[in-house]
Amino acid sequence: MTTPADKRAEQYRQIHGLVRLLGMNDEAYRDMLRDRYQVESSKQLSTQQRSSLIKSLREQVHGKAQKFNELSGRAKHKASPAQLRAIEAMWAQVSRAETSEDRRKALNAFCKRLTSVEVVTWICKDDAKVLIKAIHAMGAQSPEEFNRNKNNNQR
C-alpha cells in the first residue's frame, strides 16, 4: 500500500531526476521554483503544485529529446541527432554564455576552431566525436556518464 509519504517521496525523485535530465543547475532550479510557485524548495510545494511541476518538466524533457530529429534522414556520415543533442547538452555544462543564443554562437565558434565547420549541425560523425572529446576534457560529463547516472537515478 502506498502511503502519502511514499507518493511525496516519489514526486521529489521525479522532480529532481527531470531537473537533472534538463541539465538545470541548482540556481536555475531555485529561480524557477521562486518564479512559478513563490517557494524556495520543492518540499514547500503542495501535491497539486508538485504534479504540475512534474508535468511541465516532462514536457520540457520531451521537447529536448525531439531536438534535431528533423536531421535524422540525412547522409549516414553526418552527425546523428543524438550526437548533436549530446554536444549541445555538454556545451551547456561548460559554457559561460548567459543566454541560449550566446551559447549557440559560442558553440559554433568552438566547432569552427576545432573542425573548420562553421555550424555544429553541419558536422560529420568524426567531427562530433572530436567535439565530444574536447568538451569532455573541458569538464563536461560525457554522454556515457550521463546515461549511467540517469539509469542509476531511475532505479
Give how far the C-alpha of residue 112 lies from the chain's centroid of Cα atoms, to the nearest Å. 23
What pLDDT score does 144 carry? 77
What pLDDT score does 87 carry? 93
Considering the domain architecture, whether residues 33 and 81 belong to the same structural domain is answered as no
Q: What are phi and psi of 132, to 5 degrees?
A: -60, -45
Considering the domain architecture, whether residues 61 and 105 belong to the same structural domain is answered as no
pTM of the entire structure?
0.58
Place of cell 504534479: 51
Considering the domain architecture, whether residues 20 and 91 belong to the same structural domain is answered as no
153 pLDDT band (50/70/90 cuts)?
low
Number of domains in the chain: 2
Check whether 154 has a pLDDT greater than 80.
no
The mean pLDDT of the chain is 87
Check whether 138 has a pLDDT greater than 90.
yes
150 pLDDT band (50/70/90 cuts)?
low
List pLDDT tens digits, range 88-122.
888 988 988 888 889 999 999 999 999 999 999 99
Considering the domain architecture, whether residues 59 and 80 belong to the same structural domain is answered as no
Considering the domain architecture, whether residues 147 and 75 belong to the same structural domain is answered as yes
What pLDDT score does 65 carry? 65
Considering the domain architecture, whether residues 145 and 84 belong to the same structural domain is answered as yes
Provide the residue type at 109 as one letter: A
Place of cell 550526437: 83
Q: How far apart are CA 15 and CA 95, in angstroms?
A: 24
Check whether 145 has a pLDDT greater than 70.
yes
List pLDDT tens digits, range 76-85.
999 998 899 8
What pLDDT score does 130 carry? 96
Q: How far apart are CA 131 and CA 125, in angstroms?
A: 10
Whole domain around residue 27: which residue ranges? Answer: 4-66
